[in-house]
Amino acid sequence: MTESTYKHIRAGIVGGAGYTGGEMLRILINHPNVEIVFVHSNSNAGNHVYDVHTDLFGDTDLKFAAELAYNVDVLFLCVGHGDAKKFLEANEIPDHIMIIDLSQDFRLSQNSKFKNKSFVYGLPELNREAIKTADNIANPGCFATCLQLGLLPLASKGLLKNEVHVTATTGSTGAGQSLSPTSHFTWRNDNLSVYKVFNHQHLNEIGQSLRQLQGVFDKDINFVPYRGGFTRGIIASIYTESDLSEAEALKLYQEYYTGHPFTHVTNKDIDLKQIVNTNKCFLQVKKYDNKIFIMSIMDNLLKGASGQAVQNMNLLFGLDERTGLRLKATGF
Q: Contact, 34 vs 91, CB < 8 A?
A: no
Separation between Cα atoms, residue 115 and residue 93, nearest integer Å: 11
Q: Is 146 a catalytic residue?
A: no
Q: Contact, 297 vs 230, CB < 8 A?
A: no
Q: Using alpha carbons, select from 330, 320, 326, 308 the residue that is nearest to residue 101.
A: 308
Identity of the amino acid at 264? H
Q: Contact, 303 vs 279, CB < 8 A?
A: yes
* Neighbour count for residue 99 (Cβ, 10 Å): 23
78, 142, 146, 281: which one is catalytic? 142
Q: Contact, 35 vs 10, CB < 8 A?
A: yes
Alpha-carbon Rg of the chain, whole angstroms? 19
Separation between Cα atoms, residue 135 and residue 117, nearest integer Å: 8
Separation between Cα atoms, residue 85 and residue 115, nearest integer Å: 10
* Neighbour count for residue 225 (Cβ, 10 Å): 24
**Contacts of residue 36, Cβ cutoff 8 Å, sequence gap at least 6:** 11, 12, 13, 25, 28, 29, 60, 62
| 258 DSSP assignment | T
Cα separations (Å) of 277 from 27, 51, 326? 11, 22, 10
Cα separations (Å) of 163 from 199, 231, 331? 15, 31, 35
User: Catalytic residue positions?
Assistant: 142
